[in-house]
Amino acid sequence: MDLLFLLLAGVVLLKGLLGVLHSLSYQRYLDRQLSRTPPAWMPPTSVIVPCKGTDFELRENVAAILDQEFEDYEVIFVTATEADPSLAALRQAARKFPGRRVSFVVSGFSSRRGEKVHNLMRALERVDPASQVLVFADSDGRPHRHWLRDLLSPLRDPETGASTGYRWFFPRGRNLASLLRATWNSSIATLLGEHRHNFAWGGSMAIRRSTFAAVDVLEYWKHSVSDDYSLTEAVNAAGLRIHFEPRCLVASHGDCTWRELVEWSTRQIIITKVYSRGLWKLALLSEWPFVLFWWWAVGELTVWALGVGALIRIPWLQGAPLLLLLGVVWLLGAVRGLFRWRMVRRIRPEQRDRLKRDSWGYLLLGPLAATLTACNLAVSLFTSTIVWRRVRYEMVSSREVRVVRDG
């Protein structure tokens, strides 16, 4: 048992140190990206926004998409049915921008693919023939006014297959579940950077229309639940790269309950298992050793303080030395959290007050976020079924899905 604990401690310390080095490298990448002025490239563009239900502050989110500083673009809102409760808010928001070209598409349902993917495929049939770029956005995100221009700029490079941003959750209230969701999600955001292992995120991704056709994204979408992972697979298979544009970090406002947090985070991990096996394995090998070490050490300190006894028999690793070791591990994680917090504060300066209020979460909640991920991973070992917006999907593989129940 002593040897196992020492092995876990060594792995966790090494992971923490590598994480800090990665944060330093990421900071340099961010400095380079934000110090340059992206060249303006504004070809005719179509923005497709799938909608279902009334997301938090839906009208404000939609208004941000409709009010971009971009010369020539259309927005296509797509729902599964005419009765979707989002339509009233969408139409109301569109009326405030009479100069913007806006279309509404009703897609219906499919038994062969995810509802969101089906929405996108039907919306593509209504895209303006003159559009040169396809942009995909989510109705629960609120981009800044230069988002579209910044997202398209990297596509000037012919070797760039797609351009992507990512989300950042900004809790409105002070409940722990919402802040934990933001902390959990922030670790995913910093996986993206200056390398060839980026993945597209469906709430903020762009691709040339010609590239979309050339890499045959529609074929990858035919039997898929994940629009972004499948597009990523298509782009990678063609030997093209995905550019992460940190300026296109999209704000997602609102709160969640503990149940919503667990359901959402578990769904993300299960989808990752099916569509990005390598990333899922990396998470498994990274999070479980940390969680085992952390709670083992906390348990050892607890029983030591109570004078009950301990499993660890190494004299120099009991009591205060163990507390110091645990503190070092926590500090390494807190440094990474600080880097992420500083990053988003720099990218989204209008959110500084809210970020200042929630700063303690990014510093203190790392172990709890890792524990949540470990639980998500444990569940994903035994199932490939998810429920997403009241629809149940049984994912056989990245190219096969069964819609078990429509909601």
pLDDT-based confidence at residue 407 (cuts at 50, 70, 90): very low
Phi/psi of residue 395, each to 5°? -90, 110
Closest CA to 9 of 300, 309, 307: 300
How many CB atoms are located within 10 Å of the residue 373 CB? 24
Q: Which fold has domain 39-270?
A: Spore Coat Polysaccharide Biosynthesis Protein SpsA; Chain A (3.90.550)
What would the two tokens of residue 111 be? 């038994």
pLDDT of residue 309: 66
Give 143 or 306, the one with higher predicted confidence.
Answer: 143
- Kindly report the length of the chain: 407
Name the band, by pLDDT with cuts 50, 70 and 90, for residue 390.
confident
Quote the radius of gyration of the chain (alpha carbons, Å).
Answer: 22
Chain segment 324-366, per-residue pLDDT in tens: 999 999 999 999 999 999 999 999 999 999 999 999 999 999 9
Name the 3-class secondary structure at 189: helix
* Domain residue ranges in the chain: 2-26+279-405, 39-270
| pLDDT in the model for residue 316 | 61
pLDDT of residue 313: 67
Per DSSP bridges, beta strands 160-170 and 133-137 are: unpaired
170, 252 contact by CB (below 8 A): yes
pLDDT band for position 251 (cuts 50, 70, 90): very high
Q: How confident is the model at residue 315 (pLDDT cuts 50, 70, 90)?
A: low
State which of 20-24, 155-159, 367-371, 400-404 shows the largest mean pLDDT. 367-371
Of 14, 20, 21, 13, give the one whose Cα is nearest residue 297.
13
Contact partners, residue 59, CB within 8 Å, separation at least 6: 89, 92, 93
Residue 194 binned pLDDT confidence (cut-offs 50, 70, 90): confident
Give per-residue pLDDT as tens, 93-152. 999 999 999 999 999 999 899 999 999 999 999 999 999 999 999 999 999 999 999 999
What would the mean pLDDT of 365-379 be, rounded to a whole number?
96
Report the Cα 266 to chain-centroid distance in Å. 13
Q: Looking at 114-203, which runs of residues are DSSP E strands?
A: 133-137, 160-170
Out of 53-62, 310-319, 338-347, pick the least confident: 310-319
- From CA 82, how far away is CA 86, in angstroms rounded? 10
- What is the tens place of the pLDDT at every residue in 4-28? 888 999 999 999 999 999 899 888 8
pLDDT of 256: 96
Query: What is the pLDDT, as a whole number, of residue 93?
Result: 94
Nearest Cα neighbor of 347 from 242, 205, 253, 248 is: 248
- Return the H-helix or E-strand segment holding 404: strand 400-405
Q: What is the pLDDT of residue 361?
A: 94
Do strands 101-106 and 73-79 pair parallel, antiparallel, or not at all (unpaired)?
A: parallel
Structure-block tokens of residue 65:
């998409």
